[in-house]
Amino acid sequence: MPKKKFKEWLSRYLPAEIIGTITALIAACVTQFFYQNLVFTAYIGSFGEAFGFYSTILIRNILTENKKHKIEKKVFSFSDFTKIVAHIVLEFGPVGIIDGLILRPFFMYLFPVILKNFTLGIFIGKITGDFTFYFLVILSYEMKNRIKNKKININGTKK
């Protein structure tokens, strides 16, 4: 894997991952404190992760586009916002649904049980979910970028 690609992925995903980790742990700990139901806690922790992660991705994309618009002396529009959301859905959509509803809650349930340590288990479960998630998301991200960079017509020729 080229060093440049790794840096690009790190730059794109690390801030969102940090926020997602914090929101996952907070959501899981608060839920466990009030409900003591590990299945419910795993799902709420997964939701907390998704909220923190995708909010950060969305905000960073909006700020980046807004900065480009200011340089080009354009106004950031609702159409620009919908394009950002569409790109996020293309990049994360199916993978995010499978991750958020099945894989991550499973791991966030399993590891506290195996390790007999709630906080460490939630964290390890979250990290385990990340490996699966990023493998699939990076594939999606790279395919989206190839299509965007080549701008291939329906008949297969470059524009």
Domain spans, the chain: 3-145
**CB count, 10 Å around CB of 33?**
10
Does the structure show a pLDDT above 90 at 102? yes
The pLDDT of residue 138: 87
Does the structure show a pLDDT above 80 at 150? no
127-142 pLDDT per residue, tens? 999 998 998 888 888 8
66-91 pLDDT per residue, tens? 999 999 999 999 999 999 999 999 88
Residue 152 forms beta bridges with which residues?
A: 158
pTM, two decimals, is 0.86
In the structure encoding, which two tokens stand for residue 48, read together?
């907390």
